[in-house]
């Protein structure tokens, strides 16, 4: 499909302070938009980032057929934009789409639109430690009709935002003991907007008590650890590295799978299993809970300082002593900005001649 390009007449780039990038607030000049109706995607275009007009009867607003992704781009020493594993985000977007009864997006359309957009807004990719261009692809229903049914029309958009790190300190985490994020047969494995809407109240309550995040537990017994509101989680007990298995209720994180691969490369087997909170408490009591960390695109690899479980704190060792989270954080950052060799073919280079 041909992608039409309408560039902005006045770039906002000059007005941005790249030393002050509150996460997600600043949007780059352009966005990629595609419409879906009558059973096909059409009118692929790059246009200036702007408001869109929707009917008050827009079905996504009422019934929640809305899904999204998050990716990042960084620039390498040659000035080439690099995108980390975008085909994995498309794969997950399409899984989310299937679960939410929405149309899947063809890979070629996604990648071509993405590369053109990043190439055009290349100047918006910030340089400097931990900074990157956050990429937000999303799809939502656009039927103009009140009536609970599958929408027949959709819009897919990608816009971007220069960002600093999402978290700038080790996390204090509240273990959920009242609310549940996902349940068997539900939409926990989908990156569906409603999952995040449902997490707002518990997260606000946790913030109010001085925590940065909620750690979600299984909905049957509140016994097995799932993930946090924005990341997957890993634990190191003695020499064992453990992470909750993909049970259909958690997100198949791209940072999670990359960390598992990087650890396997070092000869470390990662146990993907049901993680009983009592195993973590026991390890902490025995002095062998050596590390706990969160992984996600926005967050990268971030240390956990403590968990609060039913009023008691489980405290983790000093961050300087955390072997694997420190290793993974540095290794991944270096791969993403091209300092380290991309052994696994995770990086998509945006070459201007192929995409502009």
Measuring CA to CA, how many Å separate 351 from each of 81, 99, 151, 185, 342? 8, 34, 37, 42, 17
- Of 142 and 230, CB closest to ligand PLP: 230
In this chain, which of 105, 253, 263, 304 binds ligand PLP, going by CB under 6 A? 253
d(CA 102, CA 354): 30
**Binding of ligand PLP at residue 230 (CB under 6 A)?**
yes
Cβ within 8 Å of residue 258, ≥6 positions away: 85, 332, 346
Q: Contact with ligand PLP (CB under 6 A): which of 46, 217, 251, 301?
A: 251
The whole-angstrom separation of Cα 54 and Cα 193 is 17
Q: Residue 218 CB: number of other CB atoms within 10 A?
A: 24
Per CB under 6 A, which of residues 302..341 are in contact with ligand PLP? none
For 168, the 3-state DSSP assignment is coil
In whole angstroms, what is the distance from residue 140 CA to residue 28 CA?
A: 21
- 227 near ligand PLP (CB under 6 A): yes
Return the range that interacts with ligand PLP (CB under 6 A); candidates 40-48, 143-151, 223-231, 313-321.
223-231
Piece in contact with ligand PLP (CB under 6 A), picked from 106-114, 164-172, 253-261, 262-270:
253-261
Nearer to ligand PLP, 205 or 352 (CB): 205
Contact between 332 and 69 under an 8 Å Cβ cutoff? The reply is: no
Q: How many positions of this chain bind ligand PLP (CB under 6 A)?
A: 14
Q: What is the rounded CA–CA span in Å between residue 255 and residue 48?
A: 30
Task: Write the binding mask 263 to 302 for ligand PLP: x where contact by CB under 6 A, - elsewhere.
Answer: --------------------------------xxx-----
Q: Is residue 86 at the binding interface for ligand PLP, with CB under 6 A as the rule?
A: no
Identity of the residue, 231 or 284, whose beta carbon is nearer to ligand PLP in the bound complex: 231
Phi, psi for 206 (deg, rounded to 5): -65, -45
Binding site for ligand PLP (CB under 6 A): 70, 227, 229-232, 251, 253-256, 295-297
């Amino acid at each position: 499909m041909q992608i039409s390009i309408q560039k902005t007449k006045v770039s906002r780039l000059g007005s941005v302070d790249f030393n002050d990038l509150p996460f997600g607030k600043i949007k780059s000049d352009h966005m990629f938009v595609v419409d879906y109706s009558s059973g096909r995607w059409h009118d692929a275009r790059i246009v200036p980032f702007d408001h869109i007009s929707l009917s008050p009867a827009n079905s996504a607003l009422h019934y929640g057929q809305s899904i999204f992704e998050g990716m990042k781009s960084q620039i390498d020493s040659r000035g080439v934009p690099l995108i980390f594993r975008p085909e994995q985000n498309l794969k997950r977007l399409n899984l989310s789409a299937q679960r939410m009864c929405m149309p899947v997006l063809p890979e070629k359309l996604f990648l071509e639109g993405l590369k053109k957009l990043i190439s055009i807004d290349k100047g918006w990719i910030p340089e400097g430690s931990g900074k990157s261009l956050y990429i937000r692809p999303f799809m939502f229903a656009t039927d103009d009709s009140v009536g609970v049914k599958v929408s027949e029309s959709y819009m897919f958009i990608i816009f971007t935002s220069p960002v600093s790190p999402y978290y700038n300190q080790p996390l204090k985490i509240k273990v959920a003991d009242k609310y549940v994020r996902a349940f068997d047969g539900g939409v926990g494995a989908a990156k569906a907007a409603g999952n995040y809407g449902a997490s707002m109240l518990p997260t606000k309550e946790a913030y109010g008590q001085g925590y940065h995040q909620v750690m979600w537990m299984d909905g049957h017994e509140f016994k097995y650890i799932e993930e946090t509101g924005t990341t997957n989680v890993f634990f190191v007990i003695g020499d064992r590295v453990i992470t909750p298995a993909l049970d259909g209720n958690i997100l198949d994180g791209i940072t999670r799978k990359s960390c598992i691969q990087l650890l396997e490369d070092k000869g470390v087997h990662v146990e993907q299993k049901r993680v009983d909170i009592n195993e973590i408490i026991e390890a902490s009591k025995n002095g062998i809970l050596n590390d706990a960390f969160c992984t996600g695109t926005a967050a990268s690899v971030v240390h956990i300082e403590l968990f609060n479980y039913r009023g008691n704190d489980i405290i983790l060792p000093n961050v300087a002593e955390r072997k694997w989270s420190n290793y993974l954080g540095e290794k991944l950052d270096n791969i993403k900005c091209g300092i380290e060799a991309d052994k696994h073919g995770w990086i998509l280079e945006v070459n201007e001649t192929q995409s502009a």
